[in-house]
Chains A and B, each alone.
Chain A
Amino acid sequence: MSDAQKYWQANIRLVIGCLVVWFAVSFGAGILFVHQLNVIKILGGYPLGFWFAQQGSIYTFVVLIFFYAWRMGKLDRKFNVDED
């Protein structure tokens, strides 16, 4: 496999990993499992599912993008395809 293909595969793996988390915090915790999670209270009086839907998912999205950008930067340099 060529370097370009390996770089692309590593990229796809990273994106899939990030999108699994993206899906889990919003669609998972915020919608599909919201009733089950609401039994737990965090940060005072927040039901956990409700917190994920209105707060937690957004915080996670922010962290995810910076994590992705940081890991992609490392991949770019490892495969020598960065811009400098």
Chain B
Amino acid sequence: MTNLQIWTYAVVGTTFALYIFIAIKARATSTGEFYVAGKGVHPVLNGMATGADWMSAASFISMAGLIAFKGYDASVYLMGWTGGYCLLAMLLAPYLRKYGKFTVPEFIGDRFYSQTARVVAVICLIVASLTYVIGQMKGIGVAFSRFLEIPFNYGLFLGMGIVFIYAVLGGMKGVTYTQIAQYCVLIFAYTVPAIFISLQLTGVALPQLGLGAVMADGSGVFLLDKMDKTLVDLGFNAYTTQKGSTLNMFLLTMSLMIGTAGLPHVITRFFTVPKVRDARATAGWSLVFIALLYTTAPGVGAMARLNLINTIQADSIAPDVSQNLKIDALPAWFTNWEKTGLLKYEDKNGDGRIQYVGKNFKGTDANGNLIVNEMTKVDRDIMVLANPEIAQLPNWVIALVAAGGIAAALSTAAGLLLAISSAISHDIVKGIIAKDIDDKTELMAGRIAMAGAIVVAGYLGLHPPGFAAQVVALAFGLAASSIFPALMMGIFAKRVNNTGAVLGMLSGLGTTLVYIFWFKGWFFIPGTAMAADNASNWVLGISPGSFGAIGALINFTVALTVSSFTAPPPEHIQHLVEDIRIPMGSKGAVEH
């Protein structure tokens, strides 16, 4: 076993032992504890748990890679996935906490006095959450197979087993306290290598400032200017300038923001605090903990890209390629990632060295032949995981990154599975099928639903549908076009009635689904797309992932218009809305 493997087993093993220890300490004994941790979680701790819940394998592993390769255009993810918390804090969380129930569909069903509305919300919740879980399961499998060098499916089973223990036993209570531990692991794992690399490149410890600082190589050039120059010289797009259309960036950011605010597993976290004012504070603390990672990510992305280019392409530009990476002297990280298939090269000109250039590159070699790119595949997802290896950081840092990636994936998977199991046991079993079951039976139903959800998620992780990467657009589209508008109108528009809300949700959801399926294929079945998924076919250049904001607008318009022509909601519903608008009299607060 190599030194790195010993470190990885030690670090990952220790974190797993910690998660199981917490799970046994924080078992749930009632439905209140299982669904909302007894509503007794302090806002700062809840903020950490929400941070871990929210920051998935995508945030930890993929986002910095997206930034590294898209530069400024990836800002949509940074703003979109954080700005949603302002909407949550000001428009949804305090009011939903005041209402004091367990699930999001329950509020929608009660407020619009309609089982149909509740069922639509349950379906959106399950589809959005399941699509998300697939990504987490894949993330766990990749981290295990790369760092522990065990087969992908063993890694997946191990991950499922851990989630099973603490989510089934502890419910929301167990999940919350484990997520707090997982947040600490993941943020430590993310920032430590970032600080090391920022110091190496700029001499500034904080990556937030290092990204704007002068290079430490004595050239006196700003890092960002160096990035722009290197990339343009090598035929790539410049880093800090915009490539996509402004309208699409605008709509994508908006869709991600309202999608974030409408994702049920995030909203549920606000049900776990003792008071309404704690719900507001929780949103603030959540964003503090999320911002720690999200403001570090741009530095990680830019520096990883620069290190990657410099390692392969040295600093030289054709015709001098004498400093380029030699194929018979590839570094260990390069060959290791090559084995996973996420990194590939092809020595097209047979010179024994790798040339890494962009598609705009026009340089020629000494014989006058055009130099073409020989890095045939650089998967964006390897940037964060390979970053510490490329920068030649100590093995314990690399082991830490593996544990962090697994923590991010596990914590998000647990939160999503909990949202799914609550929707099944509380909204479907207790709410529709068997209204008179007691607390103990419902708790059992919750545990069975959780176990079932883990098995389904594991199956989908092992046999990921070919569209796994595309469904993220679907999750945000569903949340943005159906759940967010319904919740917001439920609180802010007293006049919206059951007919308006249901028609609004269905029309918002319907148009968004049709727009996504039109370009991605009906139900993502390959070959059924009505038009190729590229900017020239999109209506006004709006990508399928950006359509959620339009869907939400349609939902608002239809619901408000239909409601104004139909009977107002009954008296007791209007009182309910007046009641959730003031914090006084919130129930269910318990000491812990």
The answer on a CB contact under 8 Å between B250 and A62 is no
**At the interface, yes or no: B287 with Cβ under 8 Å from chain A?**
yes
The answer on a CB contact under 8 Å between B86 and A65 is yes
* CB < 8 Å neighbour of A83 from B75, B79, B275: B275
**At the interface, yes or no: B400 with Cβ under 8 Å from chain A?**
no
The answer on a CB contact under 8 Å between A61 and B86 is yes
* CB < 8 Å neighbour of B294 from A26, A31, A58, A81: A58
The answer on a CB contact under 8 Å between A83 and B83 is no
* CB < 8 Å neighbour of B280 from A4, A42, A68: A68
A4-B582, A58-B78, A65-B280 known; A31+B86 contact, CB < 8 A = no
A18-B86, A57-B82, A58-B295 known; A65+B253 contact, CB < 8 A = no
* CB < 8 Å neighbour of B277 from A11, A26, A35, A82: A82
**At the interface, yes or no: B469 with Cβ under 8 Å from chain A?**
no
B69 to chain A, nearest CB (A): 14
Complex interface: chain A residues within 8 A of B287 (CB): 58, 61-62, 65
The answer on a CB contact under 8 Å between A65 and B582 is no
The answer on a CB contact under 8 Å between B583 and A82 is yes
Complex interface: chain B residues within 8 A of A66 (CB): 281, 284
Residues 223 to 257 of chain B near chain A (Cβ within 8 Å)? 223-225, 240-242, 246, 249-250, 253-254
Complex interface: chain B residues within 8 A of A42 (CB): 212
Complex interface: chain B residues within 8 A of A53 (CB): 72, 75, 78-79
Residues 20 to 59 of chain A near chain B (Cβ within 8 Å)? 22, 26-27, 30-32, 34-35, 38, 42-47, 50-51, 53-55, 57-59
The answer on a CB contact under 8 Å between A46 and B212 is yes
Residues 63 to 84 of chain A near chain B (Cβ within 8 Å)? 64-66, 68-69, 72-73, 76, 80-83
A44-B214, A58-B291, A83-B276 known; A34+B242 contact, CB < 8 A = yes
The answer on a CB contact under 8 Å between B253 and A31 is yes
A44-B213, A72-B277, A83-B584 known; A58+B79 contact, CB < 8 A = yes
The answer on a CB contact under 8 Å between A44 and B583 is no
A46-B224, A58-B295, A69-B281 known; A19+B75 contact, CB < 8 A = no
The answer on a CB contact under 8 Å between A27 and B250 is yes
User: Once the chains are docked, how many angstroms separate the CA of A61 from the CA of B83?
Assistant: 6
Complex interface: chain A residues within 8 A of B91 (CB): 15
**At the interface, yes or no: B222 with Cβ under 8 Å from chain A?**
yes
* CB < 8 Å neighbour of B582 from A7, A35, A43, A68: A7
**At the interface, yes or no: B283 with Cβ under 8 Å from chain A?**
yes
The answer on a CB contact under 8 Å between A54 and B78 is yes
Complex interface: chain B residues within 8 A of A55 (CB): 208, 211, 295, 298
A4-B582, A43-B209, A69-B277 known; A54+B75 contact, CB < 8 A = yes
The answer on a CB contact under 8 Å between B284 and A45 is no
Quick one: closest B residue to A47, CB to CB? B240
User: Once the chains are docked, how many angstroms separate the CA of A32 from the CA of B82?
Assistant: 18
B246-274: contact bitstring with A at CB < 8 Å (1 yes, 0 no)? 10011001100000000000000000000
The answer on a CB contact under 8 Å between A59 and B212 is no
A53 to chain B, nearest CB (A): 4
**At the interface, yes or no: B432 with Cβ under 8 Å from chain A?**
no
Count how many chain A residues have C-beta atoms less than 8 Å from C-beta atoms of the other chain: 44
A62-B287, A65-B287, A81-B584 known; A19+B90 contact, CB < 8 A = yes
* CB < 8 Å neighbour of A30 from B79, B223, B298, B589: B79
A43-B209, A44-B213 known; A83+B86 contact, CB < 8 A = no
Most buried by A among B90, B276, B295: B90
User: Once the chains are docked, how many angstroms separate the CA of A34 from the CA of B208?
Assistant: 19
A73 to chain B, nearest CB (A): 6
Quick one: closest B residue to A53, CB to CB? B75
The answer on a CB contact under 8 Å between A31 and B246 is yes
Complex interface: chain B residues within 8 A of A68 (CB): 89-90, 280
A63 to chain B, nearest CB (A): 9
Residues 39 to 97 of chain B near chain A (Cβ within 8 Å)? 67, 72, 75, 78-79, 82-83, 85-86, 89-91, 94
Quick one: closest A residue to B210, CB to CB? A44
Residues 303 to 332 of chain B near chain A (Cβ within 8 Å)? none
Complex interface: chain A residues within 8 A of B291 (CB): 58-59, 61-62
User: Once the chains are docked, how many angstroms separate the CA of A45 from the CA of B253?
Assistant: 25
Quick one: closest B residue to A68, CB to CB? B90
**At the interface, yes or no: B578 with Cβ under 8 Å from chain A?**
yes
B284-295: contact bitstring with A at CB < 8 Å (1 yes, 0 no)? 100110010011
A70 to chain B, nearest CB (A): 9
The answer on a CB contact under 8 Å between B212 and A45 is yes
A60 to chain B, nearest CB (A): 9
Most buried by A among B82, B214, B284: B284
User: Once the chains are docked, how many angstroms separate the CA of A54 from the CA of B298?
Assistant: 7
The answer on a CB contact under 8 Å between B90 and A15 is yes
Complex interface: chain A residues within 8 A of B209 (CB): 43-44
* CB < 8 Å neighbour of A50 from B72, B79, B89, B275: B72
A-B contact pairs, 19 of them (CB 8 A): A32-B246, A38-B241, A43-B212, A44-B213, A44-B214, A47-B224, A50-B224, A50-B240, A55-B211, A57-B79, A58-B294, A59-B295, A61-B287, A65-B85, A66-B281, A68-B90, A68-B280, A82-B584, A83-B583
Beyond the given A15-B91, A57-B82, could you list 14 further A-B residue pairs with CB under 8 A, ordered by the A residue number?
A30-B75, A31-B253, A45-B223, A50-B72, A55-B295, A61-B287, A62-B284, A65-B86, A65-B90, A72-B280, A76-B583, A80-B584, A81-B582, A83-B276
Please provide the 9 A-B residue pairs with the shortest distance between their CB atoms, ordered closest to farther. A45-B222, A53-B75, A46-B212, A69-B280, A65-B284, A44-B212, A81-B582, A54-B298, A81-B584
